[in-house]
Structure 1
Amino acid sequence: MRHYNKGFTLIELLIVIAIVAILATIATLLYQDYVAQSQVERAYIELATYKSAVEEHLSRGRHVMSNSELGYAPSNLTAAASGDIANFLLDGSGSLEVTLGGNASPLVSGTHISISRSTNGIWNCDIDESGAGAWKDVYMPSGCL
């Protein structure tokens, strides 16, 4: 009676390892995109929370607002684009602006997020991705141009 070895050959093991490596690489890239997208969305939402404080200040006739008056607390992802995040004119138009940095993914670090207000009180979002490392359209938060 013959006895056969029952196991995997070296070639079969190498093929399995190669397949697992390819899947791990794809998963890592998708995860990095997910992290970058969620960081941009988070920064946008954090900035949008200050719209109500701006509206309150504007309704009282105050167009100059410091970060402390708005209650702005920079997160580990954002920094004020220039001094104060709010820049408004006497007519009520202006914008809230931050730049991604700090612990932000290198894919989106340097992205400038601006939420602007028109004189009639309509808010619009604009994202300048020219400073980002490797911007992709999927990183754009919903409602932004």
Structure 2
Amino acid sequence: MSRQRRSAGFTLIELMIVVAIIAILAAIALPLYSDYVARSQAVAALDEITSGRTAYEERANNGDSDATLYTTVDNLGMQQDTERCHVTVTAPVNGVGEIICQIKGNPEVKDRKITLARNSSGNWKCQTTLATRQTPKGCYP
């Protein structure tokens, strides 16, 4: 009686199915990961300008009216250009002012802005030009 040897291993169709499944999973995962990276860059950018809010508020509450105390970013304990932001500040007019971060980063967030806006009552609001899915918590597109 002769025995047939069965070949061991995977057939071509089985390998093609595995490759197709991996491609589908990658097609789903890559955009999600890209959004995750963009959001993390936005959160880091917001963190960089949040530190200047305290110094800005202190100067505004002391009645400092010299615009250079605000618009010179160094006076607020921040740097104008960082790894994540190009920071600009507007001096308060009737108590209203802004700290603005123009984001540096991947193409999805590059040149978008996060703004900490102070109203005349001294309350701060975070606004942004980012897409909703990339917006840090507490900010509004």
Q: Give the TM interval when normalised to the shorter protein.
A: 0.7 to 0.9
Deviations 1:19-68 (A, max 9, x none): 11222232222111100011111111211111101011112222421111
Alignment identity in percent? 34
Shift of 1:119: 1.1
Q: CA RMSD in A?
A: 1.6
**Residue in structure 1 matched with residue 29 of structure 2 by the alignment:** 27
For residues 85 and 110 of structure 2, the distance between their equivalents in structure 1, rounded to whole angstroms, comes to: 9
Query: Alignment length, in residue pairs?
Result: 133
Following the alignment from structure 2 to structure 1, what is the Cα–Cα distance between the partners of residues 19 and 133? 31
Q: Distance in 2 between matches of 1:47 and 1:143?
A: 14
Unaligned runs of 5+ in 1: 130-135
Aligned partner of 1:112 in structure 2 is: 113
Partner secondary structure for residue 109 of structure 1 = coil
Give the whole-Å Cα distance in 2 for the aligned partners of 1:113 and 1:2: 71
Q: Distance in 2 between matches of 1:17 and 1:36?
A: 28
2:39 matched residue in structure 1: 37
Query: Relative to structure 1, is the Cα distance of residues 90 and 12 closer, same or farther in structure 2, using a 3 angstrom cutoff?
Result: closer
| TM-superposed deviation, 1:2 | 2.5
In structure 1, C-alpha distance between the alignment counterparts of 2:22 and 2:115, rounded to whole Å: 42
Q: Is the 8 A contact 2:51 2:78 kept in 1?
A: no
Letter of the 2:112 partner, please give it. Answer: T
1:75, CA displacement in angstroms?
2.0
1:79 maps to 2:79: no
After TM superposition, give the deviation of residue 90 of structure 1 in Å: 4.4
Deviation at 1:95, TM superposition (A): 0.7
Counterpart selection for 2:52 from 47, 50, 56: 50
Instruction: Report the CA distance between 1:108 and its aligned residue.
Output: 1.1
Q: Give structure 1 regions of 4+ aligned residues with deviation exceeding 6 angstroms.
A: none
The alignment status of 1:144 with 2:139, answered yes or no, reads yes
TM-score, scaled to structure 1: 0.83
**Structure 2 length as normaliser, TM-score?**
0.85
Residue 132 of structure 1 aligns with which residue?
A: none
Letter in structure 2 aligned against 1:69: N
